[in-house]
Structure 1
Amino acid sequence: MKLSINLFMTLDGVSQSPGSPEEDPRGGFTRGGWLMPVFDEGCGRAVGEWYSHTSALLLGRTTYNTFSSHWPQITDPEDRVASQINNGQKYVVTSGSVADVWADTTTVLGKDFLHRVRELKAQPGDELQVHGSIQLARTLHQAGLVDIYRFLIAPVLVGEGASVFGPENPASTMTVTSSTVTDSGVVSLELTPGEFSQAAAVVEDGKDSIRQD
């Protein structure tokens, strides 16, 4: 399976608490719910496409708890995302146990979870998907285990908040494999990581050019 990170993000890179102010107020974050005013049909289609590739979910403890308090209540048989989340295999990275809220929930102990993720990636299937779970996503990114990045980038600025990217991250040049803009201005991006590259603006024969070594 490929490992994908699927996140909602503001223009300033924050992914914390997109759904409501109460979702994730850790660190005193008070601007939760920033995605909902711009979440339109195009966003819904993008998220539906994300989940169409899900073979299993890999979640952090906080996101698992958030999902378990919401998704089991969605019983609409036409909601394919809810069906995938409720009925699919879920792996939870945690230092302790979790209640068996759903069927097919397996805990992955934190001390050896990167080794376990590598084992899961070696299994057959489409994608092992991370949704939310910012700290987990950051750790997987830093370990170089992510094959696909998907973001819904909202035209919103919130200032401080948790982000998957930071100054300690490895350098990388991303290749955009698909992109769309929804009616409300949300940018849907799918990217794959690659080697970091650099170039320089130079003047050659009186022309402004780009030189890449």
Structure 2
Amino acid sequence: MSRMPLEERREALVAATLAVVERDGIGGATTRAIVTEAGMPLGALHYAFASVDHLLAAAIDAVTDQERIVAEAPLATGTGADLTEVLAAGVEGYVSLLVERPARELAYLELMLHASRQRLDDGPGAGGYERSYDVLAGLLETAAATAGCVWTAPPRALARHAVAMLDGITTTWLADHDTEAAMAGARFLASALAAHATGRPTEED
């Protein structure tokens, strides 16, 4: 284990962190529990990460990246596709992921709430959502390019609205397990976002 490359060690610790939080909640995510899950000695965590909070932040980013992979697959469906349909396919992909692995999404929410608690007295800032905003803004750019549209509002501003509604879809589904309603929420979000786009200007324009 001591010869494991640093990046692999970090990935293993992130995977162990998510497994622990899924199983035991954020309260169970102690240093000892995480390294035990990863099959590493106690000092391994602080060799790979500056602190437990840095590890938890990396776990948040890992889930965000997993969600991005699922959401971006339908976005490149072919130039000229209807923007609302392209966006709906991406958000519905996320809802399907939520239904498939609810414990992982619940763990993500716990990690986000923990990160928010750490900055209760801080000023305005993206906090733990920084990567989510960046990822969603990039996905919105991809969707618009696929549909031949341009956004009339900054994609990052739209991304913040999307994150807020996605969190609502997630927490509501975790409470009621109403997948049909969650999919309807996904389509509503897609329509709301598409309302802030217009056709790509031509050279004559």
What TM bracket, shorter-length normalisation? under 0.3
TM-score computed with the length of structure 2 as normaliser: 0.23
Higher-strand-fraction structure: 1
By relative contact order (CA 8 Å, sep 6+), the higher-ranking structure is 1
